[in-house]
Structure 1
Amino acid sequence: MSTGPAGGGYRTSEDEQILHRLGYAQELFRAMGGFQNFAISFTIISILAGCLTSYFIAFNNGGPIAISWGWLWVGLMSTIISLAMAEIASAYPTAGGLYYWSSKLGSPAWGWFTGWFNLVGQIAVTAAIGYGLAIFSTSLINLWFDYPNTKEWTLLTYSVVMLIAVLLNMMKVSITALLNTISAYWHMVGVLFIVLVLIIVPDNHQSVSYVFTETINNSGFSGTNFGSIVFWYVFGLGLLMSQYTITGFDASAHMAEETHQASRMAAVGMYMSVVASVVFGWILLLAVTFAVPDTQGVLDAVGGAVTYIWTTSMSETWAEILLFICCVAQMFCLTASVTSASRMMFAFSRDRAVPGHRLWRKVAANRVPVAAVWAIGFLAWALMIPTYWNSATGYLVGTSIAVIGLYIAFILPVILRFRMGDRFEHGAWSLGNHYKWIDVVAIVWVAIISILFLGPVAPTGIPWKDGFNWDVANYAPLTVGGALLLFGGWWLISAKNWFKGPVRMGTAEELEQMEERTATAYEVPADTEYSG
């Protein structure tokens, strides 16, 4: 909070003093408490979005075991990664988050690549969230009004929901923070309601053996049993459902400049959002899988797998209620993802790394980086244009790009922190000596999934064998590799000469003067206390 003494004037809070040490003025509005910081990451992870919209990925690649056991394994690995990141977030509670960490722990080059992978991942995950919402919304509107349930109309729905998310982000942060708080409760209560309905309403349920031991390989690769190496590769592809869902928890770091007691709350919000999502998500996925009415029907439904399960196992009215709960949750999720991504773009632009940085780093009168919000909305929308030709493959590849981009950005600063050892200066929250094994496990797991999700998703999608069949090709290697060449080439040719990492905005005195002018210009009284 910022308070003025009895005689007036401007005094910085502890949060602002930490931000000053990092080199920045308090430009964004610090109006979020610890729960709200947790809520935005929990909302972006959104178990009512990711694991339901991508359910078909795991069901086709591994079957029920990729859902029941795969979720737990990925949840454990993601928790370890979030703990490794939380310690760094506590030391550097700034909106730049990951690229700032890499710049300070390594060099400007580390910060450059971390920042760009993070930004690309943020855009991709926003796109995937939005398109998943469009799939569910189209299914719901189809049940209500016979709206065409085709890829062309789904893309139109996607355009509409992206626009809504952008417009909601035009509002001041206290309103988006309120939406995230509502969203957290909506997700938790919604999951419990859906689980209860799936237990009581369907007349038939699958056996425990089906949910925990059944294997399915609908990828086209041979192998359906545990003794087959090919099956384990397919099972690995199925983990994309879980790994894609448990992303976005870096939002707690990106919202640090808008959170009270950020050195502790950003760290706690980060790992607790993952833990809560793992618990609630597992319960939800088990309930959905027990309700599977027919295996082949789910396989044939592809992206509409969950809609098929619900409309077939119970009445249409019940299916509509559950779809409505999910669509609202996914709209919360999309809105929060745009918020987080725009803050990352704002911070990266503040340090002059993004073309047109002067535009993207501007904040409006309500302390929102409006231009960055519009940019994220447009770029995320554009990334899903290929779904016009093939919705399932386009969505699968979008999720792959999101996972690879984000987790590479997640792990680069962890590598640097591990390399730094005991010289690392802790914030208010620390792993102690546990960082020695936590960081290693996190690094190894991210290396595995980054290689795995760049692999072919079907036998006819192997380019050196069959050429490119765009219907089944995984073009994530092209986009990720292209991004790496672009960022790397840009760095070698130009950026290394002018990008020096985070740029201090001024001395402590100059930063206080900036904040006082900002408070006056935006009509925020200097003697106002903001509650979290």
Structure 2
Amino acid sequence: MSATEAGRSSHGDGVPAVTTVFADGDMPDHLAEMSGDEAALAALGYKQEFKREFSAWTSFAVSFAVMGLLPSIATTMWYGIGYAGPAANTWGWLVSVVFILCIAASMAELASSMPTSGGLYYAAAVLAGPKWGPMAAWVTGWSNWFVQVTGAPSVNWGGASMILAAASIVNPSYVPTSYQTFLLTTFLMIIHACISSMPTLWIAHFNSVGTVVNVLALIVTIIIIPTMTTNVPKFQPSSVAWGIQNFTDWPDGVAVLMSFLAICWTMSGYDAPFHLAEECSNASIASPRAIVMTAASGSVFGFVLNTIIAYTITDIDAVINTELGQPWAAYLVQVLPQNAALAVLGLTIVCAFSMGQGCMVAASRVCFAYARDDCFGALSTPLKRVNKYTLTPVNAVWFNTLVGILLLLLIFGGAAIDAIFSIGAIAAFVAFTIPIFIKIAFVRNKFRRGPWHLGPFSLPIGVLGCAFVVVILPFFNFPSVNGADLTLEAMNWTSLVYGAPMLFILIWFYVDAHKWFKGPKINIAHSMHYNEIEGLKVAPNKNVDVETGSTSKSSTS
């Protein structure tokens, strides 16, 4: 992978130069009055509204917090090891993360080229061109907002469940009720909304601390479980740890594909740096680096923890069907002394709190970016306001919080709450894949690469990522049982909870929204949109051949 320095800002005050995709011909007319990041954003059509107080590290911090490996694995055990047994944690994880890393790398390439808060939505519009761009942006944007708005509720529901499970471990006579879970989850949502409404620098510091805690808690957990396990013998044979134990009514192969839901939900937070690009210095380099750092570190740490679970768990059925109501808590009690189990559970709860807050921040930036382009219709006006005191999208934060709390009413529907996890995985990978597919299928070598790119590997990596998504997404809608065993309570409601709103969104676009929604909006004067390449308006650029779209001049660092 290379970093092509197509343009740099010059500062005499010690501020680092900014690497950007745009050559001199693409930069705004008032370049001298802007920083390099502001000029790059202006060339994309937006004015700078946030303070750029995130770096590659703090963007990674939010992203790693959003991924939240420890609480994510803890919360989704039902859908991984609970479907296919230990195989889901071992070779199932290894197979799936190879393709997930392909998707992350392709996304990083887009982030380097188009570092805006709109992220995937903006990229889909630009790559699809004037004719299809609005529809591509509309579908991508709404699907991405669905995963963002379900992120904090699902994480906080998992955190609340673990808190109440800890209470049940200490006091076995205590049995949590649905309304207690709902109230505690709502309380966590409100706390996160308050934190996410703070100034950018405060949020960055909070997430930096949260990421350090996440990493340390993960390492401590990885050490404690194998060293303090009470199992005799300590570890299961490899034939068990790498074998399929099918807990569904489907064939083994289908059960394994269904178990990828846990992996995809866990490994879906790496898009956060894309949405924070307008608050990040040197975003064309820092944002893609943060995306890849998150996906790579998550793949490694996640495999280690999942493998430890596969080698130490002794009774999967008891863990999944525990009276504690939380499989991670049941697993810890099964393999560790009670005090050690409570300590690890406590660390997981702290990490879940940090993860929920990271989800809330990312969701608010997505909501703001889409409202800025009037995606939400009449609601867009208040949602795109930036608070004049904190310089953050406070209205978007609280709007997402309200929607999240309403989604938590699914708690009272029993198994229906499971749908917010399936939605999180399906909506995320639909949004991830649309712009990548458009790039590899239609734009191809006319794609205007940023300073961070995949070079000749861009096409095969994109193809592998898209193929993986096409294969696995249908299986996330399968219930674990079928035939006579299928009841309303055991039904997988994902296709309804995700499909119905998306159907409404598509009908809305064709009936009305296509008349006024034209995709990402250009809201300041700039000099990028003069000529056209494949229907995309761009400025004359001596480094790009108008016929082929290929770059003829670049330097590599």
TM-score normalised to the size of structure 2? 0.84
Q: Which residue of 2 aligns with 1:279?
A: 300
Q: Which residue of 1 aligns with 2:286?
A: 265
- The amino acid of 1:486's aligned partner reads F
The question of 1:420 aligning with 2:438 is answered no
Q: Which residue of 2 aligns with 1:360?
A: 383
Shift of 1:481: 2.0
- Within a 5 Å distance, the mapping from 1:463-482 to structure 2 comes to 469-482=487-500
Is this contact kept in 2: 1:2–1:11, CA < 8 A?
no
Q: 2:340 aligns with which of 303, 318, 329?
A: 318
- The amino acid of 1:363's aligned partner reads V
- Within a 5 Å distance, the mapping from 1:36-115 to structure 2 comes to 36-106=58-128, 107-115=133-141
Instruction: Describe the superposition over 1:253-278 as per-residue Cα deviations: whole angstroms up to 9, x where unpaired.
Output: 00000111100111111121011011
Question: SS state of the match for residue 43, structure 2?
Answer: helix
Q: Which residue of 1 aligns with 2:16?
A: none
Shift of 1:169: 0.8
**Equivalent-residue separation in structure 2 for 1:115 and 1:443 (angstroms):** 18
**Equivalent-residue separation in structure 2 for 1:382 and 1:127 (angstroms):** 9
- The amino acid of 1:92's aligned partner reads M
Give me the CA root mean square deviation. Answer: 2.2
**Equivalent-residue separation in structure 2 for 1:486 and 1:288 (angstroms):** 41
Change over 3 Å in CA distance of 1:457–1:312 after alignment to 2: closer
- The amino acid of 1:489's aligned partner reads I
Instruction: Describe the superposition over 1:380-439 as per-residue Cα deviations: whole angstroms up to 9, x where unpaired.
Output: 22222122231xx23432111111111111100001111211111111101111111111
The question of 1:327 aligning with 2:346 is answered no
> In terms of mean alpha carbon deviation, does 279-288 or 241-250 score higher?
279-288
**Equivalent-residue separation in structure 2 for 1:461 and 1:437 (angstroms):** 43
Q: Which residue of 1 aligns with 2:42?
A: 20
Is this contact kept in 2: 1:69–1:212, CA < 8 A?
no
Change over 3 Å in CA distance of 1:416–1:278 after alignment to 2: same
**Equivalent-residue separation in structure 1 for 2:368 and 2:139 (angstroms):** 17
Change over 3 Å in CA distance of 1:51–1:211 after alignment to 2: farther
Is this contact kept in 1: 2:114–2:123, CA < 8 A?
yes
- Within a 5 Å distance, the mapping from 1:269-308 to structure 2 comes to 269-301=290-322, 304-308=326-330
> In terms of mean alpha carbon deviation, does 377-386 or 293-302 score higher?
293-302
> In terms of mean alpha carbon deviation, does 183-192 or 341-350 score higher?
183-192
- Within a 5 Å distance, the mapping from 1:54-453 to structure 2 comes to 54-106=76-128, 107-143=133-169, 148-204=175-231, 205-219=234-248, 221=249, 230-301=251-322, 304-355=326-377, 356-364=379-387, 365-390=389-414, 393-418=415-440, 419-453=442-476
- In structure 2, runs of 5+ residues without a counterpart are 1-8, 14-30, 528-557
Is this contact kept in 2: 1:95–1:254, CA < 8 A?
yes
Q: Which runs of 4+ in 1 moved over 6 A?
A: 1-5
Shift of 1:10: 8.7
Question: SS state of the match for residue 398, structure 1?
Answer: helix
Q: Which residue of 2 aligns with 1:526?
A: none
Change over 3 Å in CA distance of 1:63–1:496 after alignment to 2: same
Shift of 1:2: 11
Is this contact kept in 1: 2:85–2:316, CA < 8 A?
no
Is this contact kept in 2: 1:3–1:11, CA < 8 A?
no
**Equivalent-residue separation in structure 2 for 1:448 and 1:178 (angstroms):** 39
TM-score normalised to the size of structure 1? 0.88
Instruction: Describe the superposition over 1:125-179 as per-residue Cα deviations: whole angstroms up to 9, x where unpaired.
Output: 3322121111112222444577643333222221111111111112111111112
Shift of 1:210: 5.0
**Equivalent-residue separation in structure 2 for 1:126 and 1:3 (angstroms):** 40
> In terms of mean alpha carbon deviation, does 199-208 or 172-181 score higher?
199-208
Is this contact kept in 2: 1:342–1:372, CA < 8 A?
yes
- The amino acid of 2:404's aligned partner reads A
Change over 3 Å in CA distance of 1:216–1:408 after alignment to 2: same
Shift of 1:378: 1.5
Shift of 1:483: 2.1
Q: How many residues align?
A: 492
**Equivalent-residue separation in structure 2 for 1:244 and 1:206 (angstroms):** 27
Q: Which residue of 1 aligns with 2:504?
A: 486
- The amino acid of 1:202's aligned partner reads T
Is this contact kept in 1: 2:238–2:311, CA < 8 A?
no
Is this contact kept in 2: 1:206–1:291, CA < 8 A?
yes
Is this contact kept in 1: 2:151–2:356, CA < 8 A?
no
> In terms of mean alpha carbon deviation, does 44-53 or 287-296 score higher?
287-296
**Equivalent-residue separation in structure 1 for 2:357 and 2:35 (angstroms):** 29
Question: SS state of the match for residue 94, structure 2?
Answer: helix
Shift of 1:474: 1.2
**Equivalent-residue separation in structure 2 for 1:460 and 1:11 (angstroms):** 68
Is this contact kept in 1: 2:242–2:310, CA < 8 A?
no
> In terms of mean alpha carbon deviation, does 92-101 or 473-482 score higher?
473-482
Shift of 1:461: 8.6
**Equivalent-residue separation in structure 2 for 1:398 and 1:461 (angstroms):** 25
Instruction: Describe the superposition over 1:454-487 as per-residue Cα deviations: whole angstroms up to 9, x where unpaired.
Output: 233321599xxx6xx3311111111222122111
Question: SS state of the match for residue 322, structure 2?
Answer: helix
Instruction: Describe the superposition over 1:281-323 as per-residue Cα deviations: whole angstroms up to 9, x where unpaired.
Output: 1111222333324333223228522211212322221111111
> In terms of mean alpha carbon deviation, does 365-374 or 133-142 score higher?
133-142
> In terms of mean alpha carbon deviation, does 373-382 or 121-130 score higher?
121-130
Is this contact kept in 2: 1:397–1:475, CA < 8 A?
yes
Is this contact kept in 2: 1:3–1:10, CA < 8 A?
no
**Equivalent-residue separation in structure 1 for 2:269 and 2:483 (angstroms):** 32
**Equivalent-residue separation in structure 2 for 1:176 and 1:460 (angstroms):** 49
Change over 3 Å in CA distance of 1:151–1:72 after alignment to 2: farther
Is this contact kept in 2: 1:346–1:360, CA < 8 A?
yes
Change over 3 Å in CA distance of 1:457–1:125 after alignment to 2: farther
